[in-house]
Structure 1
């Protein structure tokens, strides 16, 4: 490591975080990777790109020791690469005095119960909720709050262990499944979050902030479908024109969410339901949208990649400054489409996706599993077969290709043993 060069730190550079180091290196930074904990999910760790980093430091829980190791390098800033990185990024930035979100509300930016309580106190529409340590407690609360309810871990991601429950039996099973597991970031689930179900369609709002001012990178319809026995399997994200009334309402709401949670600097990735009473937050993460490639895919429709804008917010304020307090422009229909796994077993051969190359809307795609992996029918984003990025200024072409891909799902499956 060279103390005379500009240095940036990326905590947990996995998933979308793998895109940060190449952009930082192109701007002359030496980039240091910090792994926040030893037991991160293997699906995250396998995405790591070691050649992009001058050093890889394992955090053993001693924040002061980590700060002293980094202090001689005078890092200009510290960025979270993934959801698991948010807490350490805030804490380390505060110790080293770098630009970032204050650790005062870090817990509320990670713990979903605290997050919703904070928003409710700020006068924003939210679900009603409780924390439960057992099934009986959860069922008793749900009987009073009203069915249906949603049960999920307190601090996870990617629809990990999210259950829609219509009956006491379903809720008991959900609570038992959650309490017997670890969340997407590797932490043991010791309590369950139970919330009243929010009606309406779900949307994603991605943002970048600097100094408490916010730019809305995109508003996406987040479509899920019933598949493989789950009602919450990701189907696609589709870009909305910002002039649509629903997009306008969501952008106004999410600015209030960012302010309430004091997400002042960096990226935001929010999931919001447009209920009959207006927007209500499902959850927000103080990091860029994942999985890797999603921000670039959507950028084909807006002209701005959230990851590029995130880097600009910390290195290149002159570039992002004029955008703050504004929102994206709609240049083309754009979508991240998820191809599900419909089979179970060990992968012997992956499907040939070259048929997609002849579709005018397809900007790229990537298979997730590898030969030798064990796969199961897709229930969450960690289990998808492929991510396909579509964008085209001609809506008829865009929708034709989208329909064609969906018709090929059964054929585009891995060979399993």
Structure 2
């Protein structure tokens, strides 16, 4: 058994995406981190986490390994267990409950991970949400859409993310085709889809609401509007996340709704990343992840609001009373206009090199704060169909939205020049 760590430690389960931000913010508070991988191998569709920032690492690939892992982690006396990405939510709930630290518990884990169960749980709490049906049979999915009687409908996997295999269908034929595509697919988290989820189409503008909680005290650290385009296939492609005025009436209505969703899903501790559509009948949940916003950039967030969700989470877990006093019931400040741009491409090929001079041109634009190249040399550039196939992510801050949009247009013109591709065989 390992010796107890000299410094307090937290456990991060499946620390993909920007979960490394947790580690840095906990380190600022004198807390080190352990990593737990919930699969035998790293997920092939995800960029592996940087394990060098963790004090120690563990693997828990099946239920039989949980007891031994709890014993090994218990020797470190961790103060928290946090999910770094969606697949880590159930294991983080289980480990935090077993280790006796702040926990959302296992009773509603499925409602925080499975989209069908999530929406039914929210509906049972009396909140507005989509009509839906789930089945492993494309014929039953098309039958439900036919009986629903209104198109479009949305067809998607039961448990994935990043707009993976999400289709907006306008006919029975499109529903059947989308259902077959979902069942033939592997989720972002390397799981085969065995069911198809079909939902009524929520007509309206989609928003992100990001929260942090400690002992049921919630703070809202960002509300963003999704600006997106629809491909001919019916798949949505996300373009811009646009920071909203926290005092705007529609933002206040979204916040009030999401706080009720947090209660319905049993989220009393840690991050929440909700996607909500503002319909004519009011807000309606698309889904909520008990993890950080994958587009969150700490420096970007610090500049427009003075703090960031990773820092707030570190405070919530290490000093919950201080978090409640300083941030409980509060909403973020908006010091500047802010946008996250998920850049699209129609090109395809093996990336042989990145043209750093073009990246530098983008980075030098007045509103650009950071450029993240998501298809480095040696990887394959593919036409953008979802968030995971976006080749660049650009973070903007400006004095006006028009100023940002001007630079956004230039980024779009320069993007394809960033990537040098191998000649076709």
TM range (shorter): over 0.9
Q: CA deviation at 1:341?
A: 2.6
The answer for the alignment partner of 2:85 in structure 1 is 82
Give the Cα separation in 1 of the matches to 2:299 and 2:287: 22
Deviations 1:102-136 (A, max 9, x none): 21100001010011101111111000000011110
Q: CA deviation at 1:229?
A: 4.6
Give the Cα separation in 2 of the matches to 1:87 and 1:401: 41
Give the Cα separation in 2 of the matches to 1:415 and 1:299: 36
2:397 pairs, out of 379, 386, 391, with 391
1:157 aligns with 2:161: yes
Give the Cα separation in 1 of the matches to 2:196 and 2:261: 23
1:41 aligns with 2:43: yes
Give the Cα separation in 2 of the matches to 1:340 and 1:47: 23
Secondary structure of the 2:179 match is helix
The answer for the alignment partner of 2:51 in structure 1 is 50
Map 1:284-363 onto structure 2 (within 5 A).
284-291=288-295, 293-294=296-297, 296-321=299-324, 322-351=326-355, 352-363=358-369
1:106 aligns with 2:109: yes
2:210 pairs, out of 192, 206, 213, with 206
The answer for the alignment partner of 1:128 in structure 2 is 131
The answer for the alignment partner of 1:116 in structure 2 is 119
Q: Is the 8 A contact 2:237 2:386 kept in 1?
A: yes
Q: CA deviation at 1:4?
A: 3.8
Deviations 1:278-309 (A, max 9, x none): 10000000111004x54543443222211111
Unpaired runs of 5+ in structure 1? none
Secondary structure of the 1:32 match is strand
Give the Cα separation in 2 of the matches to 1:50 and 1:337: 28
The answer for the alignment partner of 2:260 in structure 1 is 256
Give the Cα separation in 1 of the matches to 2:301 and 2:230: 24
Give the Cα separation in 2 of the matches to 1:136 and 1:353: 48
Q: CA deviation at 1:101?
A: 0.8
Give the Cα separation in 2 of the matches to 1:317 and 1:287: 18
TM-score with structure 2 setting the length: 0.93
Give the Cα separation in 1 of the matches to 2:360 and 2:15: 29
1:187 aligns with 2:191: yes
Secondary structure of the 1:219 match is strand
Deviations 1:76-120 (A, max 9, x none): 111111111101000011111111212110000101001110111
Q: Is the 8 A contact 1:350 1:415 kept in 2?
A: no
Give the Cα separation in 2 of the matches to 1:310 and 1:134: 41
Give the Cα separation in 1 of the matches to 2:265 and 2:350: 43
The answer for the alignment partner of 2:12 in structure 1 is 10
Aligned residues: 415
